Amino acid sequence: MKDTRVVITGIGTINPLAHDTNSTWTKILKGESGVDYLTSFDTEGFDTRFGAEVKNFVPEDILDRKVARRMDRFAQFACVAALEACDSANLSPQSLKPYELSVIVGSGIGGIVTLSEQHNILSERGPRRVSPFLIPMMLGDMASAQVSMMTGAMGANYCVVSSCSSGADAIGQAWYSIKSNQSEIILAGGAEAPLTPIAVAGFNSLRALSRFNENPKNASRPFDIKRDGFVMGEGSAMLVLESEEHAINRGATPLAVLSSYGSSSDAHHLTEPNPTGETAAKAIKNALAAAKISPDQLDYLNAHGTSTPLNDTQETKAIKLALGDVASNLSISSTKSMTGHLLGAGGALEAALCVKAIENASIPPTINLEEPDPLCDLDYTPNHSKDKIINTCMSNSFGFGGHNSVLIFTKY
């Protein structure tokens, strides 16, 4: 593999906190929560009545009305985030050669909003009333396809599906592609819009979601002894990644370097992480090795930190196994405490926040961390952000099915 530096030159996001990157970062540092009671459907009878919704989103304000109507909500999110990422990178896709730009977008669930709506139509009105756009709107690859068509990107174009690791894996695959000289510039990230009755009911049946209906904004509480499940969210984050040479040649300003990507599989259980933490630790070690850095060079770790009892304790084990004595002195936080868990888009949003942390020399907080679990005894930056120069940071993403994915970013 070439010794090519892969740089991030643009970021875009739409998420439960805000519709753009800078507003999101401002709210992250203030420790604001994007969690509230659900408004997209009637939650009467549901065990969980809240989530992390993207509020006040009118896709026609940003996207062509006719095109937007033929996209599922998750694909709309991806296109909006991609537009901001291109603007952030001072990138006009039309200025590139036709096959120069590639698109990789991860999604764990895809177009479940459209599938749910059309299933209701089938049940209530019969098969002839089902939309001819059902299939092309529900497919998981349609976020990447729509971004490709919107930007005219004719390079590689595909979807990564690895549950809650999807967004991180999409960015990791982009890193591989640029490092191996297959691509020069890629729009990569994740998109998800799972806040539907069937998805909430399904995750409730798994007993995976928090049921803290009395105070939703306090429900996402990673590493806290009273945590009772994750808070499901929606949105997208997209990054512009390119080789350093390509970025310099077009006059772009690198925001950070994507130094490495590491992965592994638990091969253990459909939903539960490996109880030893060893396989997640292996992904962390793989990323460190690929970046050619030692644990003591890490300044910040954005944890997967879902607020589920099992994930948080097993991730703590994995961090200790991978980093040794360094773990106890490392600044760590879970931004899911504020954004909720965007499933397949979570790793992409957290990658974006790592870049902002490097840029702004700030560690985001883990909010709602009031009584730490004794088994989660690392420095999880409770409730308040702190200033710190960050030269190197890591982002963990772990998904149902045993997917472990780790990204490392360094200051440019």
Q: Name the catalytic one among 246, 341, 376, 393.
A: 341
Looking at 222, 249, 276, which one is the last position of a domain? 249
User: Which residues is 366 bridged to in the sheet?
Assistant: 382
Instruction: Give the single-character DSSP code of 31.
Output: T
Same domain, 336 and 384: yes
95 occurs within a structural domain: yes
- The pTM of the full predicted model, rounded to 2 decimals, is 0.97
350 occurs within a structural domain: yes
Is 341 a catalytic site residue? yes
Same domain, 205 and 299: no
Residue 274 binned pLDDT confidence (cut-offs 50, 70, 90): confident
Distance, in Å, from the CA atom of 124 to the CA atom of 127, rounded to the nearest integer, reads: 9
408 occurs within a structural domain: no
Same domain, 188 and 326: no
Is 403 a catalytic site residue? no
Same domain, 97 and 195: yes
Same domain, 86 and 199: yes
Q: Name the catalytic one among 79, 159, 246, 304.
A: 304
Q: Name the catalytic one among 164, 354, 376, 393.
A: 164
User: CATH number, domain at 302?
Assistant: 3.40.47.10
Looking at 249, 283, 304, which one is the last position of a domain? 249
Same domain, 114 and 212: yes
Same domain, 206 and 321: no
Question: CB of 345 within 8 A of CB of 167?
Answer: yes
Distance, in Å, from the CA atom of 283 to the CA atom of 394, rounded to the nearest integer, reads: 11
Distance, in Å, from the CA atom of 356 to the CA atom of 228, rounded to the nearest integer, reads: 29
Is 269 a catalytic site residue? no
The H or E element containing residue 166 is: helix 166-179
Number of domains within the chain: 2
Per the structure, the complete domain to which residue 47 belongs is given by 7-249
Report pLDDT digits (tens) over 41-54: 999 999 999 999 99
- Mean pLDDT for the chain overall: 97
Report pLDDT digits (tens) over 177-230: 999 999 999 999 999 999 999 999 999 999 999 999 999 999 999 999 999 999
Report pLDDT digits (tens) over 357-380: 999 999 999 999 999 999 999 999
Same domain, 36 and 120: yes
